[in-house]
Structure 1
Amino acid sequence: MKAEFEAKEKKSEEEFLAKLNEVETAKNKEIEDLKSELESSRNSELSFKEAKEQEGALSEEVERLRKQLWDLEEKSQEEVV
């Protein structure tokens, strides 16, 4: 009877450890997935910041070119007159 009880207890412990291992594995996979998602999000944020910086630089360049065009048009009109 004692041996039967010990066998059941050992089986229960093995089942518990197997389930615990499954839970740990699932938890670790979820952690890795979340880390990957976070890294992807950080990269997207950096790309967004870089795009905004480029947009600002391009806006300044467009404004400079508009002014240059306006100056050239003024000179052209002065030469015609």
Structure 2
Amino acid sequence: MTQTQDPQIGRELAQAKFTDEMLDNMRALIGTELRTASAVNNEYATRLAILRFCEGIGDDNPLWTDEEYASTTVHKG
């Protein structure tokens, strides 16, 4: 029997490195007014909004991403 290794197991994550240029660019944004008046995408914590947020930050915790698993926890999905 052939076994296939899960690509997530043992995978090394890339390390982010901040450069002086990146910090200068971010500092240049200090005081910039954000456009929040029309930001309604996540006004409600829907299942899809939570899933998209988790995808955006790379959080694959099954409590957030697997409805069947979540229903078996103390939180009841």
Instruction: Give the TM bin, normalised by the shorter chain.
Output: under 0.3
| Structure with the greater alpha carbon radius of gyration | 1
Q: TM-score, normalised by structure 1?
A: 0.20
Q: More relative contact order in 1 or in 2 (CA 8 Å, sep 6+)?
A: 2
Q: TM-score, normalised by structure 2?
A: 0.21
Task: Return the structure number with greater helix share.
Answer: 1
